[in-house]
């Protein structure tokens, strides 16, 4: 029987390689133009209704030329993103990204590597990140680590590994039914909401996480922690986990990590540190001593995509006992069989160390960022953002129309329009700032008071951007 004739074009590769190559260079150039001229544009601009409508097209059944899709991207998407690349962006805790990381991500996309496992250099590179990170966090070669989407996932993993430490591997088959006593975990009232949700997702329920009050500096009150642990013990519950925060999301407070480590050791609790944005302050010599206790943690969650300036997403989970991490997640499957040689060598695989099987090559953009800039430079930038926060704090303190609501522990300043008890004027001022495109702080609520919150994370932010924020804010008060 004759073979069927080959179809016109049977795969998805370009038919005209030189043309595709030229188009790819144009796309890269457009992005470089955007980065080079960031300062000239607004931080953010509202999305016009016709732009929203323009993407609501039917499912494309027929091909569209790459150049045309790129043109739509330039017109409909690029101008209307959040603005966290811009030096005037100070909302939430968003990283600014960096060109080396972006190019690393581009190469990773080109390789299309799946880092679930197998014997390949991309997995070796991810292991190298662990070899770099573990000593920084006072951990040995026994440590386990894994890239995940972000600290929301890393904190969830921490709760699961701590649960294994408390209940043994049996919890994987039997669930919480194997616990003889009810488990209790601890974190401060300033803990990130994802830790609460992690307790929900782990089946323990959010009420099993005791929220310990904070002191005037926003740090967990250790006497209250000790009392809560003692109370749970005498009520027949099993304290198993304490979560310290290195850089709270509201005000950037750093818990007394040494004190928590002592208490955790005394009461045999798993000591996890949510260092989502703050942990990398270890790279800044002036800040590192304040985080010293993080080097005693059993596990750490951190994000390279915040202060590390790596493009999204690049969260990381680090555990002192890598074997316990493996026992928490690894499972056998015939189609994932290992061998000593060939592609199926190199066990354990990343898929043994966390919930994901197929995983992208996040390690590459991190590797590029760390190598191209060096950790000294990244540490200097982290230190600089904290100096900018102190500069903003000084200006707020000097300005009678403003009122400081929380001191700049690290890189976050919270303030409001003086006497704005309802918070309405401050919230409106922030919205108007966003719409002006001049600066983009966000808001939070501290002790029932609405705060304008400026988190300086971006490596591009300079004193003039702080000035611009206040100059744009203050005319509102006239
Ligand atoms: C950002 C943040 C998180 C959540 O991390 P994601 O990477 O957004 O999932 C958790 N805790 C703190 C303190 C954070 O700043």
Helix (H) or strand (E) holding 453: strand 449-455
For residue 312, how far is its CA from the centre of ligand 1 (angstroms)? 12
147 near 362, Cβ under 8 Å? Answer: yes
- Return the residue whose CA atom lies nearest to atom 12 of ligand 1: 276
Testing ligand 1's pocket by substitution, the residue of 190, 247, 274, 311 carrying the most ligand atoms inside 8 A of its CB is 274
With CA atoms as reference, report the closest residue to 159 among 298, 262, 252, 331.
298
Q: Extract the tokens encoding 16.
A: 């005209």
For residue 397, how far is its CA from the centre of ligand 1 (angstroms)? 29
Q: Extract the tokens encoding 345.
A: 């060598």
Distance spanning both ends of the chain, measured CA to CA: 87
Give the number of C-alpha atoms closer than 13 A to the C-alpha of residue 204, restricted to the C-beta side. 32
Helix (H) or strand (E) holding 423: none
CA triplet 126, 132, 134: central angle to 5 degrees? 100
Q: What CA dihedral angle connects 99, 104, 110 and 115, to 10 degrees?
A: -150
Q: How, if at all, do strands 449-455 and 412-417 pair?
A: antiparallel
Taking CA atoms, 405 is separated from 17, 89, 420, 439, in Å, by 58, 20, 12, 20
- Return the residue whose CA atom lies nearest to atom 5 of ligand 1: 151
Domains and CATH numbers, the chain: 105-370 (3.40.640.10)
306 near 246, Cβ under 8 Å? Answer: no
Testing ligand 1's pocket by substitution, the residue of 147, 152, 291, 385 carrying the most ligand atoms inside 8 A of its CB is 152
CA triplet 453, 440, 408: central angle to 5 degrees? 30
313 prior amide bond cis, ω within 30: yes
Q: DSSP readout, 254-312?
A: B--HHHHHHHHHHHT-EEEEEETTTGGGGGSTTTGGGGGGGGG-SEEEEETTTTT-PPS
C-alpha span between 214 and 225 (Å, rounded): 10
C-alpha span between 57 and 333 (Å, rounded): 42
- Tokens 């440590």 belong to 143
231 near 258, Cβ under 8 Å? Answer: no
Instruction: Tell me the pLDDT tens digit for each residue of 60-103.
Output: 999 999 999 999 999 999 999 999 999 999 999 999 999 999 99
Residue length, the chain? 478
Testing ligand 1's pocket by substitution, the residue of 277, 294, 299, 301 carrying the most ligand atoms inside 8 A of its CB is 277
C-alpha span between 472 and 470 (Å, rounded): 5
Q: How, if at all, do strands 209-212 and 402-406 pair?
A: unpaired
With CA atoms as reference, report the closest residue to 87 among 475, 477, 454.
454
For residue 10, how far is its CA from the centre of ligand 1 (angstroms)? 44
User: Phi-psi bin for 268: left (phi > 0), alpha (psi -120 to 50), beta?
Assistant: left
For residue 316, how far is its CA from the centre of ligand 1 (angstroms)? 11
For residue 209, how far is its CA from the centre of ligand 1 (angstroms)? 18
For residue 419, how far is its CA from the centre of ligand 1 (angstroms)? 31
Instruction: Tell me the pLDDT tens digit for each residue of 121-139.
Output: 999 999 999 999 999 999 9
For residue 43, how far is its CA from the centre of ligand 1 (angstroms)? 22
C-alpha span between 217 and 252 (Å, rounded): 10
401 near 417, Cβ under 8 Å? Answer: yes
| Nearest atom, ligand 1, residue 150 CA | 7
| Nearest atom, ligand 1, residue 313 CA | 7
Ligand 1 pocket: which residues have CB below 6 Å? 93, 150-152, 192, 194, 245, 247, 249, 274, 276-277, 303, 315
97 near 309, Cβ under 8 Å? Answer: yes
C-alpha span between 317 and 354 (Å, rounded): 9
For residue 301, how far is its CA from the centre of ligand 1 (angstroms)? 9
* H runs (alpha helix) in 9-150: 17-36, 49-54, 66-72, 99-111, 121-136
pLDDT by 10s per residue, the chain, length 478 = 677 766 665 799 999 999 999 999 999 999 999 999 999 999 999 999 999 999 999 999 999 999 999 999 999 999 999 999 999 999 999 999 999 999 999 999 999 999 999 999 999 999 999 999 999 999 999 999 999 999 999 999 999 999 999 999 999 999 999 999 999 999 999 999 999 999 999 999 999 999 999 999 999 999 999 999 999 999 999 999 999 999 999 999 999 999 999 999 999 999 999 999 999 999 999 999 999 999 999 999 999 999 999 999 999 999 999 999 999 999 988 888 899 999 999 899 999 999 999 999 999 999 999 999 999 999 999 999 999 999 999 999 999 999 999 999 999 999 999 999 999 999 999 999 999 999 999 999 999 999 999 999 999 999 999 999 999 998 754 4
Taking CA atoms, 213 is separated from 19, 216, 406, in Å, by 62, 10, 16
Q: Extract the tokens encoding 367.
A: 């590797």
């Amino acid at each position: 029987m004759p073979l069927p004739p080959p179809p016109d074009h049977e795969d998805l590769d370009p038919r005209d390689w030189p043309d595709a190559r030229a188009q790819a260079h144009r796309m890269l150039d457009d992005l470089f133009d955007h980065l080079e001229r960031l300062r000239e544009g607004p931080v953010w601009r509202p999305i016009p209704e016709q732009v929203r409508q323009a993407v609501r097209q039917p499912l494309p059944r027929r091909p569209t030329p790459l150049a045309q899709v790129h043109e739509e991207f330039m017109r409909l998407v690029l101008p209307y993103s959040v603005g966290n690349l811009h030096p005037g962006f100070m909302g939430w805790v968003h990283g600014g990204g960096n060109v080396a990381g972006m190019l690393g991500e581009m190469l990773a996309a080109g390789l299309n590597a799946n880092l679930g496992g197998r014997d390949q250099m991309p997995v070796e590179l991810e292991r190298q990140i662990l070899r770099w990170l573990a000593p920084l966090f006072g951990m040995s070669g026994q440590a386990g680590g894994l890239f995940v989407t972000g600290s929301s996932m890393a904190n969830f993993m921490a709760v699961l590994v701590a649960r294994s430490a408390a209940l043994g591997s049996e919890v994987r088959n039997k669930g919480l039914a194997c616990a003889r006593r009810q488990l209790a975990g601890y974190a401060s009232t300033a803990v990130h909401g994802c830790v609460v949700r992690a307790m929900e997702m782990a089946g323990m329920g959010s009420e099993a996480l005791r929220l310990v009050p904070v002191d005037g500096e926003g740090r967990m009150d250790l006497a209250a922690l000790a009392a809560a642990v003692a109370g749970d013990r005498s009520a027949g519950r099993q304290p198993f986990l304490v979560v310290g925060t290195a850089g709270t999301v509201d005000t950037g407070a750093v818990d007394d990590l040494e004190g928590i480590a002592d208490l955790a050791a005394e009461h045999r609790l798993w000591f996890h540190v949510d260092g989502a944005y703050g942990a990398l302050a270890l790279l800044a010599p002036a800040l590192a001593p304040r985080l010293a206790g993080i080097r005693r943690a059993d596990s750490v969650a951190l994000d390279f995509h915040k202060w590390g300036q790596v493009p999204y997403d690049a969260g990381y989970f680090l555990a002192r006992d890598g074997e316990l991490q493996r026992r928490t997640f690894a499972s056998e499957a015939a189609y994932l069989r290992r061998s000593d040689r060939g592609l199926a060598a190199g066990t354990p695989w990343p898929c043994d160390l966390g919930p994901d099987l197929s995983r992208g090559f996040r390690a590459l953009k991190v590797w590029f960022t760390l190598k191209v800039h060096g950790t000294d430079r990244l540490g200097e930038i982290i230190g600089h953002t904290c100096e900018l926060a102190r500069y903003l704090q000084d200006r707020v303190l000097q300005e009678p129309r403003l009122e400081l609501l929380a001191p700049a522990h690290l890189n976050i300043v919270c303030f409001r329009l003086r006497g704005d008890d309802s918070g309405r004027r401050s919230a409106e001022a922030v919205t108007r700032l966003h719409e002006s495109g001049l600066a983009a702080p966000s808001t939070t609520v501290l002790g029932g008071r609405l705060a304008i919150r400026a988190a300086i994370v971006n490596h591009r932010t300079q004193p003039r951007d702080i000035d611009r924020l206040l100059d744009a804010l203050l005319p509102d008060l006239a």
